[in-house]
Amino acid sequence: MEYYDKVYGALLGAATGDAMGAATEARTPENIIAVFGHPVTTFEKPPVDAIGAGSEAGQLTDDFSCAYFIASHIIKNKGIITEKVVENAIVDWSEHEVFYTRFAGPSTRRAVAKFKGKPFPESTDFVNYPFWATNGSGMRISPIGLFNPGNIDQAIEDAVTVTLPTHANHLSISGACAVAAAVSCALKPYADLYDVLQAGLYGAEKGEILGREVGVIVPGASVLRRMELAIKIGSSLKTPEEKTLELADRIGSGLHIAEAVPSAFGLLAAHNGDPMAAIIAGVNMGYDTDTVSTMAGGIGGALKGKTAFPTDFGEIIDRMNGIDLHGLALGILETNRLYRKERRA
């Protein structure tokens, strides 16, 4: 498989998971069936009582849109990843009301207020550290793996840099490193699902260690231990449907990083690395469906490439959101080529 196919597949997978999950976010599996009359298997217009109400089928939320801006700014900075580049990208993204105002999560909103020099309402007597450990760090991190094809340790280091400005706690860092490491591994020419899952576990473990060194240590379940359980569930002999329900029940698919990231890996294990199958399962498992599906789609897309998705999905995503996935993929490839050439010189 060509390198371009994997990079484009990762971008398309993450975007597809985000846009499909926008229709079902914050619902239960039972309510999804009641509202739509069937499992959601393609782009659907979010209902009037949805978080994404007002969007059209195929439109993104905060998940992949933020990743797109970060990747674009890294390309402009010739592949050099710094906290300042990330801050500038997120401020730029926050000026786009269609993505930020309606969808941005609590940790990101706090960070954006800080970047812009605005006070963020928070008690001076109590800092809610557990509330910081959200999945926003993982939802936008997949491009960091794309900028580090096969270089898993560098992907982890860069994931820490990208996460610190908004989610400077050891759990969010661990989750982000898991996703970035998995994407980086998936870009290897002969990578298989086992390799990718093991890279994710390695990323979560190393990310937690690094996160304890550079971030706030917050209470909460270990991303690594939850991932181990999620992958075990996903690798069991039950049907994919049974495994998806068990992941939702035992791991969760919510805002906390130790739910969303492990479930994304569990879904990939449950569906043999097929990104569309994992996305569809994530979209219908309920709760934070767009984020879980964004991560599963990004990792699975890097592994299986662009042919894993319907041929018209890329055009739909581009048209509905005014973006250019093909151009971004080419930009990542060219940036990697030039950056590697400069480092060798």
* Ordered structural domains, the chain, with CATH: 3-115+128-344 (1.10.4080.10)
Least confident of 93-107, 205-219, 268-282: 93-107
Q: Which residues contact 230 (CB under 8 A, 6 or more apart)?
A: 247, 251, 262, 263, 265, 266, 269
pTM for this structure? Answer: 0.94
Q: How far apart are CA 79 and CA 70, in angstroms?
A: 11
Say if residues 315 and 71 touch (Cβ distance below 8 Å). no
Task: Give the pLDDT of residue 345.
Answer: 40
Task: Give the pLDDT of residue 97.
Answer: 74
Element (H, E) at 335: helix 325-344
Task: Give the pLDDT of residue 92.
Answer: 87
Q: How far apart are CA 256 and CA 167, in angstroms?
A: 12
Task: Phi first, then psi: give them for residue 134, nearest 5 degrees.
Answer: -100, 170
Q: Is the pLDDT of residue 161 over 50?
A: yes
Least confident of 11-20, 33-42, 125-134: 125-134
Q: How far apart are CA 179 and CA 170, in angstroms?
A: 15
Three-class DSSP category at 158: helix
Task: Give the pLDDT of residue 48.
Answer: 94
Of the candidates 261, 269, 294, which has an alpha carbon nearest to the alpha carbon of residue 279?
294
Model confidence at 335, pLDDT cuts 50, 70, 90, reads very high
Q: Crossing angle of helices 240-250/257-270, nearest 10°?
A: 170
Residue 107 vs residue 165, higher pLDDT: 165
Task: Give the pLDDT of residue 234.
Answer: 98
Model confidence at 149, pLDDT cuts 50, 70, 90, reads very high
| pLDDT tens, position by position, 295-310 | 999 999 999 999 999 9
Say if residues 252 and 244 touch (Cβ distance below 8 Å). no
Question: Facing residues of 216 across strands?
Answer: 169
Task: Give the pLDDT of residue 124.
Answer: 46
Say if residues 173 and 159 touch (Cβ distance below 8 Å). yes
Compute the residue count for the chain. 345
Cα–Cα distances in angstroms (integers) from residue 81 to residues 209, 215, 289, in the given order = 21, 18, 29
Model confidence at 120, pLDDT cuts 50, 70, 90, reads low
Q: How far apart are CA 211 and CA 287, in angstroms?
A: 26
Q: Is the pLDDT of residue 127 over 80?
A: no
Q: Is the pLDDT of residue 326 over 90?
A: yes
Q: Give the mean model confidence (pLDDT) for residues 184-205.
A: 97
Say if residues 91 and 116 touch (Cβ distance below 8 Å). yes
Task: Give the pLDDT of residue 125.
Answer: 47
Element (H, E) at 344: helix 325-344
